[in-house]
Amino acid sequence: MAIVVPREKGFADADAIRAGLAHRLARYKQPRAVLFVEALPKNAMGKVQKALLREEHRDLLAG
């Protein structure tokens, strides 16, 4: 799964994201699903809190 914060407001084209990654990543590394969010949770150092992302979207990751 890829969790994406779009640069342009209102952009939500998962097929375009997958097409852009198709020639850069091996097939098994390409995301099966793309989720668009407003912002990623970050800590005080500005790093993305991946554990918090997994917790927030646990129901989507399980399926």
- What domain count does the chain have? 1
Residue-range definition of the domain harbouring residue 58: 2-62
- Here the CATH number for the domain that contains residue 38 is 3.30.300.30
Q: Could you give the C-alpha distances from 16 to 11, 39, 52, 62, in angstroms and in order?
A: 10, 20, 26, 24
| Tens of pLDDT, residues 40-54 | 999 999 999 999 998
The reported pLDDT for the residue numbered 63 is 59
Query: Which of helix, strand or coil describes residue 36?
Result: strand
Phi, psi for residue 21 in degrees, rounded to 5: -90, -15
Task: Indicate if the pLDDT at residue 6 is higher than 80.
Answer: yes
Phi, psi for residue 26 in degrees, rounded to 5: -60, 155
